[in-house]
Amino acid sequence: MARDRRSTNRFKMAERQGYDYSLIFIVLFLLAFGLVLLFSTSSYLGAVEHGGDSAYFLKRQLLFTGLGLALMAVITIIPYRFWRFACIPAFLAAIGLIILIIPYGNEVNGAKRWLVFHGVSIQPSEAAKVAIIILTAFIIEMIGRRRLQTLWGFLLPMVPAAIIAVMLLRITNNLSSALIILAIAFGMLFVACPDYKRFIALAVLAVAGTAGVVTYIVRMADSNPLGFRGGRILVWLDPQAYAGDTGFQTLQALYAIGSGGMFGKGLGQSMQKIMVPEAQNDMIFSIICEELGLFGALAIMLLYILLIWRFILVAGNAEDLYGALAVTGVVTHISVQTILNIAVVTNTIPNTGVTLPFISYGGSSLFFLLTEIGIVMSVARTSSRAEAKQNRIMYYRQTFPENAE
Amino acid sequence: MSGRRYGSARRRPVRKGPKRFTISMQKRLVVLFLLVLVSFGMLAIRLILIQRDNGRSYTMQVLSQQAYDNKSLPYKRGRITDAKGTVLADSKLVYNVIIDARQILEDETYLEPSLNAAERLGVNKEELRTYITEHPGSQYYIARKNLPYQERRAFDQEVSEGIAAEEAAQKKAEEDAEKAGKDKSEAVQVEKVYSNIKGIWFEDNYIRTYPCGTLAADVIGFSSAGNRGSFGLEEYYNDTLNGVKGRTYGYLDESLSMEQTTIQPTDGNNLVLTLDANIQSICEKYLKEFNDSFKNKKHKGNGTNNAACIIMDVNTGAILAMASEPGFDLNDPYNIAAVSGMPKLDEKDEATTNYLTDAEAAALTDQEKTRYLNALWTNYCISRHFEPGSTAKPFTTALGLETGKLKLSDKFLCEGQLLVGDTWIKCAHLEGCGELDVAGAIERSCNVSLMQEAEKIGPEIFCKYQNVFNFGLRTNVDLAGETRTDGYLYKPEDMSETDLATNSFGQNFEVTMIQMAAGFCSLINGGNYYQPHIVDRITSAGGSTVQTNEPRILKKTVSEETSNMIKDFCIQAVEGEHATGTAARPAGYRIGGKTGTAETLPRDNGQYVVSFLGFAPADDPQICIYVVLDRINNKKQDEAVRACEVAKNILTEVLPYMNIYMTEPVTDAERGELEKLGLYDTNDRSKAEESQDETQE
């Protein structure tokens, strides 16, 4: 009877035919929307920096999108269980890429985060996120539900994420990616581990720790013990005081948001895209607020929520634990990154470089995000096949009750 | 396929293979979703709060940042030229050197070449380096002001040539590399110096210059930063001289690219004066000469408190020269050394009999400096009033004759003094002038006769005619700072016998020089009172005439007949046997005029204002000259002959300059003096021209 209970408690899908079209639609919509906004925000910079080609960024992003969608299609077809075997090589490859940064890294904006192969630059941290999702899902599945409750069982799934996080922090000095990777593994663990207490304890601990660090930095504002990160916290607390240099980006983004009003200045009418550094990148959300207003910004946020809800349905309907966990990883990744991005733009948290999924300019980010979507679709496809099978059984039973026991 | 098979699959107790995603896990997934939802909700609230609390101020901020890109372009303030085209005031194009630190810091190879280039433009290199390191985001820093045009041109040329040379060298290196079979990019990079000069640009600016320095300083005035004129023409015609600022501003066009629009500035209009720089400089030369000769004579200090001269065109009211000493340098108006030797000022800014020494001038407080400089900058000819003395006598006589109260046949007896009311008022000639007619009274400058004349005229008519001659009223000459004198005249109801008597010979009421000169012109030219003016026309920056100041007759003061009589009296006052103004006659010319010696207040202080008010040439008056020497630095101040001498010196040079030929024989001694000045007897020439005209006819 276990199976019956399971099927009734599941988040029931309406008719699905192999592919989750709602999911595809939302992703495509976000991508298209992102391209329009990217063109709006980057046309000025493109014209200035790339010889009058105002569509420079748009063209490149279009190329990435096309290639990314193709990749997504391929990955959708690959049965997701394949990643159970590919996860360890993928993890090792990610580590290799990060290590390659040390000798071959390309420095942009003062940070060594990119690898360049024949003019194509990739960001290993983005690859690492995918690797962590498929690897952590595998580890949790191996450990099993009961053993997860032991201390070692609890800590083990975090180990690869911790390794990558430390490496990203040490080698690329990229705190935000490290945090996102830890969050992905942690989110998967949270879903898999049947215990709330330890998570609540950890959350309280994290909040207390953060508060402690902030207080410490504010106290020691003059000696600035934490380098530029400490400085960013000070800017976060009072961006006006640093309006000329470190607070410039934050403040200009706030100006953009504040000046948007309810319905914004209209698409393409942003004045701040000239002022806000990285307007086409980390700060694109501020320009969305300026051009489309509060209404547009909330609509975009709603779109993300819809996307995440679709993911959760897919996870709930997954054929097995591995698929569900992989989707959970993707959910965590996209939601954490979106939340962090919007929080940075609105100066809710200190400034750190996080891109807005599907909308911000950037090939690596888009590529690996679409890879993740491919995995999710693959899970959805498999589960929908199982569902269809189940439906057929139900239909058979209802049609021929005499055959049922 | 059979139902049984499915049924048996369902009954399988433990499912092998992949593990399940359990219901509790699904619940936790929903918890995760709720957490995400809460986060999104908080961010949405944050967005709404930003809009609600800061929307307005941030919108303003965004707009103000747009304005940051705007730049106003300076206009050129108009030029002031004299009647002959000599430039008296001009605005010169100079440049401000602007540093864009952000651009310089874009690449470390830019820093040194840019700093060196800035140093070449006269910017302190190390100070600039410090500034750039301290303000890396600065995009507008004025590193140097008022860079001359030549320096900028030389710099631009050097840089553009340098860049061209470097590009050529680089191209050559690339070609060499290609010849050697290598890729272009592998070519040797030529060292770039000029190409790496970044973040230096120039901003137009204008500075006011006065090529003639001290010439007509009081008349022209000066303009300070922001194109605000102070004193004289610069103040009076401030709006005319100023143009309209231009503006460049950026905006986003339909294709979202930053467009720049420039509204060109409109340059200011130019002034062309009636003033003639040559006549002006002749006046200034002799005034200065006089001042220098009496400098430190009786006491330490200037030769006079004020020495001033106006020359006007009798038939138009155009001012040909208006000079006053001490003057100042328009290019350095704040130089406090110029006030040294001036009388000290009391609390009411009136002159005292103490004089400023150099040391005292240097030690003035800022407030005192302002007072003394203001006194220095003030144009004596229009802004100071004084008792005119005997130069008023032609006016008194004219109004008597005009109203019929006086007749040419009237005789007056002077016994040296006259009892008016209960006061004995003296004549200048204490021994008495004897019996005089109206003409003789002016020739001898007899106070007693004039007092008797005034008694006949009566206070009503006297006061009315003072207004007719424009005494007590502004002449509205087109210069800033003309003073009011209406408080220094009597009204008929307040006028006692003594007041009328003293008024008749120019004491006890006060006038300005411009009032006297303009009024005198009308007495001479047949009674037409022209409004005195100094700007002939206003031209646009392009040179076309915008406005012409035609001579304007304001009123008829006296009749032609009266005018002719007064003219004759004044000629006699220079040429007559007992004339007081003999010394004013320049060699070779006949002129008319009247001297004046006025006691200042308080009476009997030994301080006098001496003057000569005349016209030339006698037969066909062209110009009116008024010389005033205010308190000569001499034991004996009441010598009107000093003013006559100055007038003579000025006329000696001005009349030939104006192509007015001599009519009178020149003595050998006079010829010698003329030759010293580089002048010659023009009698023959005028005759020759006359005969030439005749033969032509």
Confidence class of residue A397 from pLDDT cuts 50, 70 and 90?
Answer: confident
Question: What residues form DSSP beta bridges with B261?
Answer: B249
List the single range of A391-395, B28-32, B194-198, B523-527 with lowest mean pLDDT. Answer: A391-395
Cβ contacts (< 8 Å) between B57 and chain A: which residues?
Answer: 258
- Residue A258 is nearest to which of B22, B54, B136, comparing CB atoms? B54
Q: Is residue A34 part of a domain?
A: yes
Could you read off the pLDDT of A222-250 as tens digits, one per residue? 666 566 677 778 788 888 777 767 788 88
Question: Both A91 and A38 in a single domain?
Answer: no
Query: In this structure, is residue A239 part of a structural domain?
Result: no
Q: Are B574 and B582 in contact (CB under 8 A)?
A: yes
Residues of A in contact with B24 (CB under 8 A): 194
**Are A280 and A180 in a shared domain?**
no
Q: Same structural domain for residues A268 and A392?
A: yes
Q: What is the pLDDT confidence band of residue A116, given thresholds at 50, 70 and 90? A: confident
Residue A41 lies in a domain: yes
Instruction: Say if residues B482 and B383 touch (Cβ distance below 8 Å).
Output: yes
- Whether A34 and chain B come into contact, CB under 8 Å, resolves to no
Domain encompassing residue A63: 24-77+252-405
Selected residues 629-658 of chain B with any CB under 8 Å from a CB in chain A: none
Is the pLDDT reported for residue B273 higher than 90? yes
Does residue A47 have a pLDDT over 60? yes
A11 close contact with B: CB closer than 8 A: yes
What per-residue confidence (pLDDT) applies to A352? 84
| Average pLDDT rounded to a whole number, residues B330-341 | 87
Contact between A87 and A131 under an 8 Å Cβ cutoff? The reply is yes
Question: Residue B15's pLDDT is what?
Answer: 45
pLDDT at residue A4 greater than cutoff 70: no
What type of residue sits at position A26?
I
pLDDT band at A370 (very low <50, low <70, confident <90, very high): very high
For residue B692, the model assigns a pLDDT of 58
Apex CA A274: angle with CA A354 and CA A267, to 5°? 85
Among residues 17-36 of chain B, which lie with CB inside 8 Å of chain A?
17-26, 28-30, 32-33, 36
Closest approach of B341 to chain A, Cα-based (Å): 54
B255 interfaces chain A, CB cutoff of 8 Å: yes
The answer to whether B3 faces chain A, any CB pair under 8 Å, is yes
- pLDDT tens, A84-93? 889 999 999 9
A264 and A353 inside one domain: yes
Paired strand residues for A108: A111
What ipTM goes with this model? Answer: 0.89
> Which of B61-70, B525-534, B600-609 has the lowest average pLDDT?
B61-70
Residue A206 burial class via C-beta count within 10 angstroms: exposed 0-12, middle 13-18, buried 19 and up: exposed
Residue B70 binned pLDDT confidence (cut-offs 50, 70, 90): low
Distance from CA of B26 to the nearest CA of A (A): 6
Together in a domain, A70 and A161: no
Whether residue A320 is found in the same domain as residue A370 = yes
| Statement: residue A1 has pLDDT above 60 | no
Mean pLDDT for B249-276 is 77
pLDDT band at A10 (very low <50, low <70, confident <90, very high): very low
Residues A301 and A186 in one domain: no
Residues of chain B with C-beta less than 8 angstroms from the C-beta of A308: 33, 36
Domain limits, chain B = 94-210, 661-697
Question: Would you say residue A65 has pLDDT above 90?
Answer: yes
Domain contains A245: no
A-B contacts (CB, under 8 Å): 167
Residue range A392-399: average pLDDT? 76
Which residue of chain B is at minimal alpha-carbon distance from A312?
A: B29
Give me the phi and psi of B90, to 5 degrees please.
-145, 160
Residue B9 banded pLDDT, cuts 50, 70, 90: very low
SS3 breakdown of chain A: % helix, strand, coil, rounded to 5?
75, 5, 25
Tell whether the torsion through CA atoms of A268, A269, A272 and A275 is positive or negative: positive
For B206, residues 6+ apart whose C-beta sits below 8 A from its C-beta are B74, B75, B76, B77, B91, B92, B93, B94
Determine which helix (DSSP H) or strand (DSSP E) holds B208, and give its type and residue range: strand B200-209
Q: What is the pLDDT of residues A30-46, one digit of tens each?
A: 999 899 989 988 887 77
Residue in the block written with tokens 């006060």: B510
Give residue-wise pLDDT tens across range B373-414.
Answer: 988 999 999 999 999 999 999 999 999 999 988 888 888 888
Residue of B19 and B522 predicted with greater confidence: B522
Cβ of residue B496 closer than 8 Å to a chain A Cβ = no
Give B208-251 pLDDT, tens digit per residue. Answer: 889 988 898 999 999 877 788 889 999 999 999 998 888 877 66
CA dist B620 to B310, B375, B567, B591, B655, Å? 19, 38, 10, 10, 12
A51 and A131 housed in the same domain: no
Asked whether residue A200 is domain-assigned, the answer is: no
Using a CB-CB cut-off of 8 Å, the residues of chain B touching A298 are 44, 47
Chain B residues whose beta carbon lies within 8 Å of the beta carbon of residue A261: 51, 55, 59
pLDDT at site B395: 93
What is the 3-state composition of chain B as percent helix, strand, coil, each rounded to the nearest 5?
45, 20, 35
- The residue in chain A having the minimum alpha-carbon distance to the alpha carbon of residue B15 is A3
Residue A386 located in a structural domain: yes
Q: Quick one: average pLDDT of A347-368?
A: 88
The helix (H) or strand (E) run that includes residue B580 is none
Q: From CA B522, how far away is CA B316, in angstroms rounded?
A: 10
Q: Which residues of B touch A44 (CB under 8 A)?
A: 252, 256-258
Residue A107 lies in a domain: yes
Q: Do A308 and B36 touch (CB under 8 A)?
A: yes
Average pLDDT, rounded, for chain A: 84
User: Does the predicted TM-score (pTM) go above 0.90?
Assistant: no
Query: Which chain B residue shows the shortest CA-CA distance from A317?
Result: B21
DSSP E strand stretches across B119-199: 141-148
Is residue A329 within 8 Å of residue A137, measured between CB atoms? yes
Q: How far apart are CA B133 and CA A121, in angstroms?
A: 32
Contacts of B258 in chain A (CB under 8 A): 44, 47-48, 274
- Asked if the Cβ–Cβ distance from B62 to A255 is below 8 Å, we say yes
In this model, does residue B10 exceed pLDDT 60? no
For residue B25, give the nearest of A187, A378, A334, A387 by alpha carbon: A187
Of A345-354, B440-449, B599-608, which gets the smallest average pLDDT?
B599-608
**Is the same domain home to A73 and A88?**
no
Examine the domain organization and report whether A110 and A37 are in the same domain.
no
Residues B37, A3: C-beta atoms closer than 8 Å: no
Mean pLDDT (whole number) for B452-480:
90
Q: Cα–Cα distances in Å, from B110 out to B103, B195, B200, B492, B525?
A: 9, 9, 11, 83, 74
Interface check A397 vs B, CB under 8 A: yes
Count the domains in chain A. Answer: 2
Q: How confident is the model at residue B1 (pLDDT cuts 50, 70, 90)?
A: very low
Distance CA A113, CA A351 (A): 17
State which residue of chain A sits closest to B253, comparing Cα positions: A269
Query: What DSSP string runs through B603-633?
Result: TTSS-EEEEEEEEESSSS--EEEEEEEEEES
> Contact at 8 Å (CB) between B246 and B263?
yes
Classify residue A216: in a domain, yes or no. Answer: no
User: Residue A297 is nearest to which of B47, B252, B255, comparing CB atoms?
Assistant: B47
Does the structure show a pLDDT above 90 at B252? no
Tell which wins on pLDDT, B257 or B600.
B600
pLDDT tens per residue, range B564-616 = 999 999 999 998 888 888 899 998 899 999 999 998 887 778 889 999 999 98
- Nearest chain B residue to A42 by CA: give it: B256
Q: Which of A195, A219, A234 is the last residue of a domain?
A: A195
Q: In this structure, are residues A11 and A317 in contact, taking their beta carbons and an 8 Å threshold?
A: yes
From A6, A29, A68, A50, select the one nearest A302 (Cα to Cα).
Answer: A29
Interface test with chain A among B21, B22, B37, by most A beta carbons within 10 Å:
B21
- On whether any CB of chain B is under 8 Å from the CB of A207, the answer is no
Can you tell me the distance from the alpha carbon of A368 to that of A131, in angstroms, rounded to the nearest whole number?
10
Residue B11, pLDDT above cutoff 50: no
Same domain, A270 and A169: no
- Residue in chain A closest to B2 (alpha carbons) equals A403
The C-alpha atoms of residue B537 and residue B535 are separated, in whole angstroms, by 6
Q: Are residues A133 and A259 in the same domain?
A: no
pLDDT band at B515 (very low <50, low <70, confident <90, very high): very high
In angstroms, the CA B649 to CA B282 distance is 9
Question: B55: distance to nearest CA of chain A, Å?
Answer: 4
Comparing CB atoms, the residue among A81, A256, A324 nearest residue B25 is: A324
Check if B146 contacts A (Cβ < 8 Å): no
Taking only the tens place, the pLDDT of each residue in B101-116 is 878 887 788 888 888 8
* Residue of higher predicted confidence among A141 and B686: A141
Average pLDDT of the residues in B127-144: 83
CA distance B185 to chain A (A): 15
Check pLDDT > 60 for residue B695. Answer: no
